[in-house]
C-alpha cells in the first residue's frame, strides 16, 4: 500500500484498517500520542542485518516504510536528504520526514526525525512531500500538510482529506530541528478551481521573486502544475497552470511530485503520473510564465517514482527517486522494511534536447575486485571467463559494451540452481531502431558513432538499476532467493560482445542499516 493507491482506490481505507486494526484517522492520532521510537529492538536489528534482499549501498531508513525523496540539498558543507517515512510500520501511513546527512552523497548518517504530524494542527494527518524554499538566511522548506475536511473542502475526492501547503524553517547548522509556521501559506486551491489534487510543492526563485509549482490536475482533462508567485516566499498569488496535459490517457489527470529547473539552455519539467516519472524539455516563457514542451519521454521504465532534483557542490543537477516495492504489504511487514532511495543520477542534456543521465561517477570509489573480459569470438572462452567473474553478496556493478547487428544475443545474471535468471537483457536482431527488452519492457538503444552501446547495471540486494547509453533506465525489484555467488551468461552471437566488466561494491554500512 502506498499513497498513490490510497488516493485512487476506494477500498484503500478498509485495507489500512485490516493491516493496522484502526480507521486511518484513529491510526494517525494514536501514533501521534507518543514520540515514535527510532531505536530498533535487538531482534529486528539482527533480522535486518541478515536480510540478503536489503540494499547495502543505497540510502534507506533503519527500518519500516519509506517513499518520496524530499528537499534534498547541499547546506553548509553537507548534503541533506529528507524522505517520506512511516516510523511505526513497514507499510504506507502516518507520514513523517526522516533525515539523513552525508559528506559525499554516498555515505549517510541517520539524523532524528525532521518533521512529524502535529495533533490538531493543519498537518495532523501527515507531513507529505515537499521541497527546499530557496533564498533567505535560514533553511526553509515547503511541504504538503494533510488535515481532515468536509466534502466541500476536500482536495482528494471521496477521502475527506484536504491538502494545504506549509512552511518550516531551521536555524540549526545540521538542520536537526524545524519550526513550523503557525498557519499554511496556502490553505487550499484557488476558489472555484476544481482540481484532482493539490500537493508536492516545487518552488524556485528568479531575482527577487519566488515561484511555486504545485502538483494537480483537472478531472477528465489531464494533469497540471499550478503556478503561483510571491514577493517574500510566504504570501502567494495563483497565476495559471505552468503546464498541463491534454489527454488523461497519456499521463493521467493528476501530476504528482513536479520538479522544474533550468538545464543548459533549456528547462526541464518532471512529474510523476500513472506510476512512472515523465520528463519534458523545452522553454520557459518568462513573459507569459508558461512552459513550452519540445521533447518528452520516460525517466525510468521500472519501479521508480517521485523524482526530485538538487544542485550539488560542483554545480551538477543531481536526481533522486524512490525505488518502489513490488511485493505485497503483508510481505513488507514481515520483512520489517520497504522502499529505498535510488542511486543519485547526474542529469545532462543531449544535443537532441533529450534528457540523459548517469549514476554519480563518485560511486566508482566503492568498486572492488574489478575483473574485465575484452572481446572474444569463441563462446567457450566467453563462458569460461564469465564464470570466473562472480558477483558476491548480491552487491555489484556490471558494465557491458556490445554492438547490435543482425544477430540475436542476450545477457543474463543467474544464481546457482535457479531456473529463471535474476536479470535478463535480450536483443532480437532487429536492424531498424535497435532496442533491447528487459522483462516486458522495450528500451531503445542510442549507440555511439561506432555503433557500440553500453549497459551499466548496479545490483544491491533486491534492487537492480540498469542504464543503457546514459539515456534509458529501468529499475527492477528482484526478490528471488539466491545462495552463493551470481554469475553472468552470454547467449547468442558472441561477435556482438565487446567487453564485460564486473566489480564488487563495498558496503556503506557494516549492518545494512545505512548509518
Residues 445, 469: contact at Cβ < 8 Å?
A: yes
User: 326: which 3 cell numbers?
Assistant: 513490488
Please give the backbone phi and psi of residue 295, each rounded to the nearest 5 degrees, phi first: -135, 155
Active-site residue list:
68
**256-263 β-sheet, strand order:** 256-263, 266-273, 276-285, 290-298
**Residues recorded for the chain:** 515
How buried is 462 (Cβ within 10 angstroms: 0-12 exposed, 13-18 middle, 19+ buried)?
buried
Range list of H helices, 109-165? none
Closest CA to 199 of 272, 104, 129, 147: 129
* CB neighbourhood size of 26 (10 A): 12
- In angstroms, what CA-CA distances link 132 with 69, 185, 274, 343, 479? 12, 14, 25, 20, 35
Asked if residue 416 lies in contact with residue 444, where contact means CB atoms within 8 angstroms, the answer is no
- Using the Cα atoms of residue 410, residue 416, residue 420 and residue 421 in order, give the sign of their dihedral: negative
Residue 266 class from Cβ within 10 Å (0-12 exposed, 13-18 middle, 19+ buried)? middle
Q: What is the distance, to the nearest Å, from the Cα of residue 57 to the centroid of all Cα atoms in its chain?
A: 15
Cα 71 to Cα 107, 172, 403: the distances in Å are: 18, 16, 40
d(CA 63, CA 386) in angstroms, rounded, equals 36
Q: How far apart, in whole angstroms, are the C-alpha atoms of residue 317 and residue 337? A: 29
Amino acid at each position: 500500500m502506498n499513497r498513490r493507491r490510497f488516493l485512487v482506490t476506494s477500498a484503500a481505507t478498509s485495507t489500512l484498517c485490516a493491516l493496522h486494526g484502526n480507521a486511518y484517522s484513529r491510526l494517525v492520532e494514536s501514533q501521534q500520542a507518543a514520540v515514535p521510537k527510532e531505536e530498533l529492538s535487538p531482534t529486528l536489528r539482527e533480522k535486518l542485518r541478515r536480510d540478503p534482499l536489503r540494499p547495502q549501498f543505497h540510502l534507506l531508513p533503519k527500518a519500516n516504510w519509506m517513499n518520496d525523496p524530499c528537499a534534498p540539498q547541499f547546506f553548509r558543507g553537507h548534503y541533506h536528504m529528507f524522505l517520506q517515512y512511516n516510523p511505526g510500520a513497514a507499510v504506507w501511513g502516518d507520514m513523517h520526514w526522516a533525515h539523513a546527512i552525508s559528506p559525499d552523497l554516498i555515505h549517510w548518517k541517520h539524523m532524528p526525525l525532521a518533521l512529524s504530524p502535529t495533533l490538531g494542527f493543519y498537518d495532523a494527518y501527515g507531513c507529505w512531500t515537499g521541497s527546499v524554499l530557496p533564498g533567505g538566511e535560514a533553511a526553509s522548506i515547503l511541504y504538503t500538510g494533510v488535515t481532515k475536511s468536509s466534502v466541500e473542502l476536500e482536495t482528494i475526492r471521496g477521502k475527506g482529506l484536504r491538502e494545504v501547503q506549509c512552511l518550516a524553517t531551521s536555524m540549526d547548522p545540521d538542520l536537526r530541528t524545524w519550526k513550523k509556521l503557525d498557519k499554511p501559506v496556502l490553505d487550499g486551491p484557488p476558489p472555484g478551481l476544481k482540481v484532482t489534487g493539490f500537493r508536492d510543492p516545487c518552488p524556485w526563485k528568479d531575482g527577487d521573486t519566488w515561484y511555486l509549482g504545485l502538483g494537480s490536475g483537472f478531472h477528465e482533462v489531464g494533469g497540471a502544475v499550478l503556478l503561483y508567485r510571491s514577493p517574500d516566499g510566504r504570501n502567494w498569488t495563483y497565476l495559471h497552470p505552468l503546464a498541463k496535459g491534454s489527454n488523461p490517457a497519456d499521463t493521467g489527470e493528476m501530476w504528482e511530485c513536479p520538479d522544474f529547473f533550468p538545464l543548459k539552455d533549456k528547462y526541464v519539467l518532471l512529474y510523476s503520473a500513472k506510476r512512472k516519472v515523465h520528463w519534458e524539455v523545452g522553454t520557459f516563457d518568462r513573459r507569459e510564465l508558461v512552459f513550452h514542451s519540445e521533447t518528452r519521454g520516460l525517466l525510468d521504465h521500472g519501479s521508480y517514482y517521485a523524482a526530485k532534483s538538487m544542485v550539488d557542490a560542483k554545480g551538477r543537477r543531481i536526481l533522486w527517486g524512490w525505488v518502489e516495492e513490488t511485493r505485497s504489504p503483508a510481505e513488507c511487514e514481515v520483512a520489517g522494511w520497504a522502499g529505498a532511495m535510488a542511486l543519485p543520477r547526474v542529469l545532462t542534456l543531449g544535443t537532441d534536447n533529450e534528457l540523459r543521465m548517469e549514476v554519480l561517477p563518485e560511486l566508482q570509489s566503492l568498486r572492488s575486485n574489478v575483473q574485465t573480459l575484452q572481446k572474444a569470438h569463441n563462446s567457450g572462452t566467453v563462458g569460461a571467463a564469465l564464470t570466473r567473474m562472480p558477483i558476491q553478496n548480491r552487491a555489484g556493478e556490471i558494465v557491458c559494451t556490445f554492438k547490435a547487428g543482425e544477430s540475436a544475443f542476450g545477457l543474463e545474471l543467474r544464481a546457482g540452481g535457479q531456473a529463471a535468471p535474476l536479470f535478463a537483457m535480450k536483443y532480437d536482431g532487429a536492424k531498424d531502431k535497435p532496442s533491447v527488452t528487459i522483462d516486458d519492457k522495450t528500451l531503445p538503444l542510442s549507440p555511439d558513432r561506432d555503433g557500440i552501446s553500453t549497459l551499466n547495471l548496479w545490483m544491491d540486494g533486491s534492487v537492480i538499476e540498469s542504464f543503457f547509453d546514459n539515456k534509458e533506465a529501468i529499475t527492477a525489484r528482484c526478490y528471488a532467493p539466491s545462495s552463493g555467488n551470481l554469475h553472468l551468461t552470454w547467449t547468442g552471437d558472441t561477435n556482438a560482445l565487446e567487453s564485460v566488466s564486473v566489480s564488487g561494491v563495498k558496503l556503506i554500512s557494516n549492518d545494512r542499516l545505512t548509518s
